[in-house]
Amino acid sequence: MRFPKRDLAAEVAKHFKGTPAERMALARRTGEQALQLFLATLPPGTTRAAALEIVRRNKHRGRRPSPLMDAPRA
């Protein structure tokens, strides 16, 4: 089976559709939707700010588990 030749311009165009402002707006909407979805998985009464803090903490945990990252924040 032979694959068609790849076109660099077509490959780049797949990833860079729209203006920079449109791409930034799409990224922000995607992040907001992900946060809302995560918030929906948390116990009722959890605030958006608390969910955002959990997401931020989980995103930057480091390469090895750290007791400091699991400690409650004041």
The pLDDT tens digits for 19-45 are: 889 989 999 999 999 999 999 999 999
Write down the mean pLDDT value for the chain.
87
Q: Which residue has the higher pLDDT, 28 or 66?
A: 28
Residue 34's nearest CA partner among 17, 12, 58 is: 58
Q: Which two tokens stand for residue 44?
A: 């009722």
Instruction: Give the pLDDT score at 74.
Output: 63
Instruction: Give the pLDDT score at 47.
Output: 96
Q: Which residue has the higher pLDDT, 32 or 1?
A: 32
